[in-house]
Amino acid sequence: MFDTIIVGAGVAGAVAARKLAEEGNRSVLVIERRSHIGGNCYDCPDEYGVLIHEYGPHIFHTDEESVREYLSRFTEWYDFGHEVVANVGDKLIPVPFNLNTLHMVYEKEKADRLEKKLLEEYGEGSRVPIMKLRENADPDIREIAEYVYQNIFLRYTMKQWGQKPEEISPEVTGRVPVVISYDNRYFKDKYQGVPKNGFTPMFEKMLRHKNIEVRLNTDCRELLCFQDGKIYFQDEEFTGDLIYTGAIDELFDCRFGRLPYRSLDFRFEHLDTDSYQGHSVVNYTVSEDFTRITEFKFLTGQTDADGTTIVKEYPFAYTGAKGEIPYYAILEDENQALYEKYRSLTEDYQGFYLLGRLAEYKYYNIDAMALKAMELADRLMKK
């Protein structure tokens, strides 16, 4: 019998498993439904030898020294300041909208005047949510806000979420600010980049420990049973700790209804050219049905493959159909209330811990997820 069972071999599961196995000397079983480890960070070479992120682009970025230090035990890094541009009309402009973007959109005299107002109003380096900018009393600042809203924010948001920005949680809309600086980087964190040899090798090294067993292609419901306040593993009562990182509604057979998510349809293309768009990520904020195109060689720094591979992302409403993946929780009060009904079912079970974006029905960046897994493992080892 194992000391700890972890469902899911993504960031949350892998980090928690390693800490518990190594620092707590616990025997850990990791159960993974997919055929691979790494969760949505999974990457692999495609048939042309180009390293791709199968579930869309993932970039590690953090200011948290402890997370960077911990993950660096298992990988070296390809460090870079991630930059994104938006295709607006005949221009590629930096996003989030910043002072460089301002000077590309407006002629110099007007741009200088608008820049001065932004600096006086918000201060250099500020990151102002677009919905807050639209509330400013100054008509010039509202003009900037309206340009950003119409050309960068509105259509992209409607494609991504299937809703108008006014209907979306501030937690989501706040992720796309107007930045009062000349810094074109998409993130402001001290550390930015991807594992030098890929995310998958990093997770392979993390899970390679004598106290860890990983079972792939395994649905946890084939091994676990929840009955009368007790957890059973292969028909025997399990009294250790269970960390669950999967979809909480599916664990309980969606008895209250399915939690709503947005999903993505990824369409990969390989082209016989050195470069397709000259950028790692181009957002299509006005035109096209897809939201963005990622060109992986610009994301990973790979130079040893011929041609280039891109992926287009088409958002849609998750239905739970075979092959669909829940990516983004839709953070509305009604959905949160539904989540709480599922979460409350876990309170009857001793040693049952929810961890991760599907288990907690919320969005996490990689660093935040790793930090929370580290903290949970530390608490369990002190218990």
Residue 39 Rama label (left phi>0; alpha psi -120 to 50; beta): left
Domain with CATH 3.40.50.720 in the chain: 4-78+194-256+331-382
Give pLDDT, residue 1.
84
Question: CA-to-CA distance for 349 and 325, rounded, in angstroms?
Answer: 27
Give pLDDT, residue 163.
83
Tell me: pLDDT of 85 over 80.
yes
Find out whether 305 and 47 touch, Cβ atoms under 8 Å: no
For residues 113-123, average pLDDT? 97
Domain 4-78+194-256+331-382 has CATH 3.30.420.40: no
- Per-residue pLDDT tens for 219-247? 999 999 999 999 999 999 999 999 999 99
> Which of 2, 10, 11, 13 has the alpha carbon at shortest distance from 354?
13
For residues 247-253, average pLDDT? 97
Tell me: pLDDT of 280 over 80.
yes
Pairing of strands 241-244, 352-354: parallel
Per-residue pLDDT band for 360 (boundaries 50, 70, 90) equals very high
**Residue whose tokens read 């509105």:** 154
Residues sharing a CB contact under 8 Å with residue 178, sequence separation 6 or more, in sequence order: 96, 97, 98, 118, 127, 128, 129, 130, 133, 144, 145, 148
Tell me: pLDDT of 173 over 80.
no
Find out whether 88 and 104 touch, Cβ atoms under 8 Å: no
Give pLDDT, residue 261.
97
Helix orientation angle between 366-382 and 11-22, rounded to the nearest 10 degrees = 30
Q: Cα–Cα distances in Å, from 53 out to 46, 59, 173, 204, 291?
A: 9, 10, 25, 16, 17
Tell me: pLDDT of 92 over 90.
yes
Per-residue pLDDT band for 90 (boundaries 50, 70, 90) equals confident
For residues 76-101, average pLDDT? 96
Q: For the chain, give the mean pLDDT.
A: 96
Give pLDDT, residue 172.
73
Tell me: pLDDT of 262 over 70.
yes
Give pLDDT, residue 351.
96
Of 50-64, 173-187, 270-284, 307-321, the range with the lowest mean pLDDT is: 173-187
Three-class HEC string of the chain: CCCEEEECCCHHHHHHHHHHHHCCCCCEEEECCCCCCCHHHCEEECCCCCEEECCCCCCEEECCHHHHHHHCCCCCEEECCCEEEEEECCEEEEECCCHHHHHHHCCHHHHHHHHHHHHHHHCCCCEEEHHHHCCCCCHHHHHHHHHHHHHHHHHHHHHHHCCCHHHCCHHHHCCCEEECCCCCECCCCCEEEEECCCHHHHHHHHHCCCCEEEECCCCHHHCEEEECCEEEECCEEECCEEEECCCHHHHCCCCCCCCCEEEEEEEEEEECCCCCCCCCEEECCCCCCCCEEEEHHHHHCCCCCCCEEEEEEEEEECCCCCCCCCCEECCCHHHHHHHHHHHHHHHHCCCEEECCHHHHCCCCCHHHHHHHHHHHHHHHHHC
For residues 40-50, average pLDDT? 98
- Per-residue pLDDT tens for 46-67? 999 999 999 999 999 999 999 9
Per-residue pLDDT band for 175 (boundaries 50, 70, 90) equals low
Find out whether 79 and 193 touch, Cβ atoms under 8 Å: yes
CA-derived radius of gyration, the chain: 22
Tell me: pLDDT of 174 over 80.
no
- Is the model more confident about 193 or about 1? 193
- Provide the CB-side half-sphere exposure for 276 (13 A, CA): 22
